[in-house]
Amino acid sequence: MKKRRKLSRFLCQEMMYDYVSGHLDSERQEAMDEYLADCSESRMELAALREGLTFCHELSKVEVARPALEQIRSNKTLFQQMVETMDWRKWPDMARWTAEAFLISLVLALMVIFIPWNDLLEWSGRRTKELVLAEVKDLPSGESQQVEGPVSGETEEEGEKSEEDRASASEEVVSSEPASEPAAEPPSEAVASPPEKAEASEPALKGEIYRAFMNLANVDEVAGSVTEKIVALGGEKAGEVPLGWMRPQGAYYHFTLPEANYDELASGLRGIGPVRIFKNPHWRVMPPGQIRFILWLERVEKEEPPPSEPSSAATDEVSEVLAQDPSQ
């Protein structure tokens, strides 16, 4: 027969709660009974434990008042209350579908308004080709009036300089005048704009300018006589350079002339060689009885046969582009 192990006070204390609650097996239960019979201190501890159990039983009789319990049950956070109130699943079908449709419309509208579609399309390379016709910058009306008014001061100087620069740069003959002169800069800046668009912002071409071109082998010889002829007819230099400004490619004349002497000048030039005279519209309005004239004597090689002597009709071809009205 197995000898039963005698309990110590420590073991008795450790097993006392299980002893009271009936969790010990019968062998341990008997051992505890035997030990408690001999140990008064352990019996006092057992009594205290049972006293504690009794007191806990009394404490468990404390009740939560019904109002307090209801308060606890009904107490919800503000968020919970909002969620319950807004719970769309409790809405009528009609209201729910209406709300959904409105929400979708709102989202689409916000997407259309706030998403930079142009940038996205450009980024994705699917943007249609777009040509900027004109970018117009308004200027004060005073500047516009100054351009359209009589020629004077700095504006004229700049215009002349532009003409002279062009003459010195190349022999390129430009028959359309307005875009070449800085002073003729319109009050609006036109970029890659079609003519109709540009004209809309440019000053009206109310004046005229005569341009004459001659191809001569003996420019150096005749330049002086041409200058004398112009001066004799009342011509005065209009730009910064002197009359008969010699350039490697030829001689340049920019002058004003009494209108009455135009025929005489033309015939004089015709006597030197074939001449082509163009009359172009120009923004600059000359005083009555005065005309502005640009003459270019182009130096050509001597070996080359001179240009065919133009017939009187061809020689006197005056392409009077009487485009006083730009719309014509």
Partner 1 sequence: MLSEAQIRSVALFYFYVLLDENQALDWTLKSLRQCLKSLGSESESDSRATSLIVHHTHLGWKKIIQNKATLSASIVHEAAFVIPPSLDLGVWKQFRKDADGEEFLAVIWSKILGFSDQEIATGLGVSLGTVRYRVGRGLRHLGSLKQLR
Min dist. Cβ of residue 89 to partner 1 (A): 13
Contact (Cβ atoms closer than 8 angstroms) between residue 257 and residue 230: yes
Q: Is 4 in the site for partner 1 (CB under 8 A)?
A: no
Min dist. Cβ of residue 62 to partner 1 (A): 5
Give the strand pairing for 276-282 and 207-216.
antiparallel
In angstroms, rounded to a whole number, what is the distance separating the alpha carbons of residues 217 and 223? 11
Q: Is 63 in the site for partner 1 (CB under 8 A)?
A: yes
In angstroms, rounded to a whole number, what is the distance separating the alpha carbons of residues 163 and 237? 13
Q: In the numeric block, which tokens belong to residue 179?
A: 């875009």
Of 65 and 132, nearer to partner 1 (C-beta) is 65
**Residues 243-282, buried b or exposed e (16+ Cβ, 10 A)?**
bbbebebbbbbbbbbeeebbeebbebbbebbbbbbbbbbb
Q: Is 50 in the site for partner 1 (CB under 8 A)?
A: yes
The window from 57-65, 97-105, 142-150, 234-242 that contacts partner 1 (CB under 8 A) reads 57-65
Count Cα neighbours of 145 within 13 Å in the Cβ-side half-sphere: 3
Min dist. Cβ of residue 23 to partner 1 (A): 8
Greatest CA separation for the chain: 161
Positions in 13-32 near partner 1 (CB under 8 A) = 13-14, 16-18, 23
Binding mask 66-105 for partner 1 (x = CB under 8 A): -xxx-xxx-x-x----------------------------
Min dist. Cβ of residue 84 to partner 1 (A): 14
| Residues near partner 1, by CB under 8 A | 13-14, 16-18, 23, 45, 47-65, 67-69, 71-73, 75, 77
